[in-house]
């Protein structure tokens, strides 16, 4: 798994082996083969927590593909591939995470990756050029868009970079990680600078959302009056975020029609997208219009709808347009069950961190979508489920796991 984490940093979705086949997809398939070719790993999968929820999700994906008007065979292929590249990353994280002691190896790898990402982002900002991504067509690197700077580091896309960096920050800053605390705080500071350089407002806010839940769950088990603590923490965060937004134009522009001076997404645009997404939802409300329907049909054949949806930049819009009610219900049920089982083991530090990652992922998904972000966040959730499995078997299950 550590090799895969390094690979998806350098070999991102922008690098293609052949047209429409990215290096990252090749790495993902290779990861699946290396994991599932061992019988012991397949047996481990049978004991995964939330097994019923994973099966229901897979069936819902197959239904969306099977009832695709563009052809059931192609639809089923897309369904399997889409499942592999979304919820399948949780399975990979679960299977490849054998023992609780592997947490230390995982954290060490994350610290090394974070150092590389932050240093390269700062160097890119100082020299004003992105040496790596400039060779890849389609990157959104920019330092000439008014107040909006976009430096994606090694990740090709600033939104993907923001998701990856925010998830690493949540893990690095998790409570009671006292080992080498000074070095980790310095690294967290450098990584936060790299996050600001991405220009991804949703990722910055998702980081705060994730950390709020991490520290709330951590301290709620220590303080009897945790409701008071939550209230104070919430008021403090609201004040800080409001002050933060008022001072940074590219954040405050989220609430201005047209995106303000820096452009980009804003609330008014999201409402417009929601209206037209719901209209497409009504075309096939139960099974959805099919995977990639927006990019392969709407973007190609309907210029008006395409202009109104503006990229459908939210997981909510993707679910409405492509997936249908059955898949929406199963996805909501899955995340509800995931948070519920994490709550049952919230006395474990890494599980608390996984809860924060889950909330950060959901926030990021709703605000700007989660396309191509799953591998950078959900694989850690799989590790959390593996910790739960080990705790059920009383395998190396201690409170201070990081």
For 21-34, how does the pLDDT look when each residue is reduced to its tens digit (9 = 90+)?
A: 888 888 889 889 98
Q: How far apart are CA 256 and CA 240, in angstroms?
A: 20
The answer to whether residues 377 and 242 touch, using CB atoms and an 8 Å cutoff, is: no
Helix (H, G, I), strand (E, B) or coil at 349: helix
Of 398 and 383, more confident: 383
Name which of 176, 47, 184 is nearest 108 in CA terms: 184
**Chain-wide mean pLDDT for the chain?**
81
Provide the residue count of the chain.
402
Q: How confident is the model at residue 255 (pLDDT cuts 50, 70, 90)?
A: very low
For 213-229, how does the pLDDT look when each residue is reduced to its tens digit (9 = 90+)?
A: 888 877 766 554 455 45
Of 164 and 232, more confident: 164
pLDDT of residue 265: 55
pLDDT of residue 144: 63
Of 333 and 156, more confident: 333
Q: Helix, strand, coil: what percent of the chain each, to 5?
A: 70, 5, 25
Residues 173-194, mean pLDDT to the nearest whole number:
81
The answer to whether residues 88 and 31 touch, using CB atoms and an 8 Å cutoff, is: no
Residues 341-370, mean pLDDT to the nearest whole number:
90
Helix (H) or strand (E) holding 133: none
Residues 354-366, mean pLDDT to the nearest whole number:
93
Give the chain's count of helices (H) and strands (E): 20, 4
Q: Which pairing describes strands 21-22 and 16-18: parallel, antiparallel, or unpaired?
A: antiparallel
Percent of the chain residues topping a pLDDT of 70: 81
pLDDT of residue 267: 72
Residues 200-220, mean pLDDT to the nearest whole number:
85
b/e for 229-249, b at 16 or more Cβ within 10 A?
beeeeeeeeeeeeeeebeeee
Please, which residues bridge with residue 145 across strands? 148
The runs of H, that is alpha helices, within 96-200 are 102-127, 158-172, 181-198
Q: Supply 265's token pair.
A: 């997404």
Residues 298-323, mean pLDDT to the nearest whole number:
82
Sign of CA dihedral 143, 145, 149, 151: negative
């Amino acid at each position: 798994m550590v090799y895969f984490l390094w690979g998806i940093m350098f070999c991102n979705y922008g690098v293609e082996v052949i047209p429409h086949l990215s290096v990252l997809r090749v790495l993902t398939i290779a990861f699946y083969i290396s994991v599932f070719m061992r019988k012991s790993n397949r047996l481990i999968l049978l004991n995964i927590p939330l097994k019923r929820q994973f099966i229901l999700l897979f069936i819902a994906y197959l239904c969306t593909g099977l009832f695709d008007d563009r052809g059931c065979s192609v639809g089923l292929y897309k369904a399997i591939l889409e499942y592999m590249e979304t919820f399948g990353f949780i399975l990979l994280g679960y299977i490849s995470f054998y023992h609780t002691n592997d947490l230390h190896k995982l954290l060490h790898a994350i610290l090394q990756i974070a150092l590389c990402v932050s240093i390269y982002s700062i160097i890119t900002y100082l020299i004003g050029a992105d040496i790596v991504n400039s060779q890849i067509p389609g990157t959104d690197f920019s330092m000439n868009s008014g107040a909006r700077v976009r430096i994606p580091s090694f990740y090709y896309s600033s939104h993907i970079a923001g998701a990856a960096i925010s998830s690493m920050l949540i893990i690095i800053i998790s409570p009671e990680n006292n080992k080498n605390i000074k070095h980790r705080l310095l690294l967290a500071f450098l990584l936060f600078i790299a996050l600001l350089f991405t220009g991804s407002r949703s990722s910055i806010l998702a980081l705060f959302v994730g950390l709020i839940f991490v520290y709330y769950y951590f301290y709620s088990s220590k303080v009897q009056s945790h409701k008071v603590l939550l209230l104070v923490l919430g008021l403090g965060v609201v004040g800080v975020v409001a002050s933060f937004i008022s001072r940074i134009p590219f954040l405050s522009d989220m609430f201005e029609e047209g995106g303000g001076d820096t452009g980009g997404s804003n609330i008014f645009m999201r409402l417009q997208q929601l209206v037209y997404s719901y209209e497409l939802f009504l075309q096939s409300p139960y099974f959805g219009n099919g995977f990639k329907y927006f990019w392969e049909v709407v973007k190609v054949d309907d210029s008006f709808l395409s202009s109104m949806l503006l990229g459908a930049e939210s997981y909510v819009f993707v679910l409405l347009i492509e997936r249908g009610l059955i898949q929406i219900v199963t996805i909501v049920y899955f995340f509800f069950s995931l948070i519920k089982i994490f709550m049952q083991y919230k006395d474990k530090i890494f599980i608390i961190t996984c809860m924060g990652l889950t909330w950060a992922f959901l926030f990021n998904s709703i605000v700007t979508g989660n396309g191509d972000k799953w591998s950078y966040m959900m694989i850690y959730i799989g590790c959390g489920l593996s910790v739960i499995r080990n705790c059920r078997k009383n395998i190396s299950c201690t409170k201070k796991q990081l």
